[in-house]
Amino acid sequence: AGEYHIEFNGVCHSGCVMAYHGRVLTEKTLNLSYQHSKFGGVVPEIAGRGHLAAFKELLTNILQSPVFSPKQLQAIAVTRSPGLIGSLLVGVTYAKTLAWVYEKPLIAVDHIEGHLFSGFIGQPAPRFPFSALVISGGHTLLVNVEGVNQYTVFGRTTDDSVGEAFDKTAKILGFVYPGGPVIDRLAVLACERGIPPVKFPVPLRGRDTFDFSFSGLKTAVLYHAKDAGLYHPERELITVEDFLAQSDTDILNRTLSVARGFQETIAVIFEERITQTIRASRVKEFHICGGVAANSAVRKLTAQLAERLGVNFRCPEMKYCGDNAAMIGYIARLYMQKGFMLTETPDILNAEPSAAGRFSI
Ligand code: ATP
Ligand code: FE
């Protein structure tokens, strides 16, 4: 029997549908982030409406797929929390309707729990325990994973998430949303061209804590950008391509220097926390997941730490770092295998916005 999973989620700006059969049978993700680009961040109302329009296309695509067969359908899985209520409601409403039409159980999962297991998609079954760093648009968490549904959060951001810090830094420098890939590209260019990084203070450095803080770093970037003549909030946000085509060498070099400085500071923060975690817990396996796990400096760092600390590091495939339905299908399937399905009848399942997420404070 196969499973058919649907995700339509929250802060996330992409929607997708897929079929899962122990492996991904078919999947489709619509990245809707371009709808928010000129605003420098996600606009909730646009996100909800965007999902509503996109979902019809996604669903049609999957229902017409040759691998889709209602008889083989075992369950419908959906993200219930956390996220923006409008976007969650679209997914939950579609999922409830499909569960009702096909008379299948509905499995409601937590989006962050999906990210936590995204490194296992298409890989051998998880072995526990492992520790994980969840680095996404709305979260920055250190979690011990003892098993399915057995999580201990031992570190978290005290202010912005790291994804937000990337997005805000890009916006300060005049770039469109999402800012992570922009900063990454500029930082790589800076390295290639030998442009030195701006030295930013490393937040919470040397402190006896597993927590994170990014708002001070963001403020440091803002002050530096103002002093360097790079901050022009009245200007329309632009793409990297336009920036590279338009800017003079001086502005270009100063911007590359900030991006590299910011990205390297993030890598130093993660290096410190991951090393601390591994020394304290003696865990043999460490995972990185969430949209920021796509970052080139973060991926390079994990490879170096694996060698230095003798620990197995796992990063999701690039396409499973950001939001995707495969991870929702994956965690739902783990629940089914365990026999505790978190199944709810369609009439009582409701979307739960941020505060109800199991990884929220
Ligand atoms: P959450 O999962 O916490 O609810 P979300 O679903 O919006 O939030 P993700 O889709 O997991 O978050 O990740 C999106 C974030 O990842 C954005 O902040 C984006 O800028 C960031 N990101 C994407 N690619 C990169 C990259 N190469 N480097 C750094 N950040 C990146
Ligand atoms: Fe996400």
Going by the DSSP 8-state scheme, the letter that residue 206 receives in this structure is: T
Residue position matching structure tokens 């800017």 = 247
Q: One-letter amino acid identity for 347?
A: D
User: 141 alpha carbon to ligand 1 midpoint, in Å?
Assistant: 13
Q: How far apart are CA 190 and CA 360, in angstroms?
A: 36
Mutate to test the pocket of ligand 1, among 166, 173, 265, 354 (most ligand atoms within 8 A of CB): 166
Residue nearest to atom 29 of ligand 1 (CA): 180
Residue nearest to atom 20 of ligand 1 (CA): 180
Please return the burial class of 168, using the count of CB atoms within 10 Å of its CB with bins 0-12, 13-18 and 19+. buried
User: 104 alpha carbon to ligand 2 midpoint, in Å?
Assistant: 26
> Ligand 1: residues whose CB is within 6 Å?
10-12, 83, 111, 115, 136-139, 163, 166-167, 178-181, 184, 290-292, 294-295, 322-323
User: 332 alpha carbon to ligand 1 midpoint, in Å?
Assistant: 22
**Residue 182's Cα: distance from chain center in Å?**
16
73-81/106-110 β-pairing: parallel
What's the pLDDT at 66? 86
Q: Which of the ligands is closest to the CA of residue 178?
A: 1
User: 122 alpha carbon to ligand 1 midpoint, in Å?
Assistant: 22
What's the pLDDT at 69? 82
8: its two tokens: 């339509």
What's the pLDDT at 165? 97
Residue nearest to atom 27 of ligand 1 (CA): 295
pTM: 0.93
> Where would I find the H helices in 195-354?
215-227, 240-246, 249-281, 296-309, 326-338
User: 93 alpha carbon to ligand 1 midpoint, in Å?
Assistant: 25
Please return the burial class of 203, using the count of CB atoms within 10 Å of its CB with bins 0-12, 13-18 and 19+. buried
44: its two tokens: 């909730």
What's the pLDDT at 10? 45
Region of residue 237 (phi > 0: left; psi between -120 and 50: alpha; otherwise: beta): beta
161: its two tokens: 């998430």
**Torsion sign over Cα 8, 11, 14, 19:** negative
What's the pLDDT at 16? 59
295: its two tokens: 């970052």
Stretches in the chain below the pLDDT threshold 70:
1-22, 340-350, 353-357, 360-361
User: 246 alpha carbon to ligand 2 midpoint, in Å?
Assistant: 33
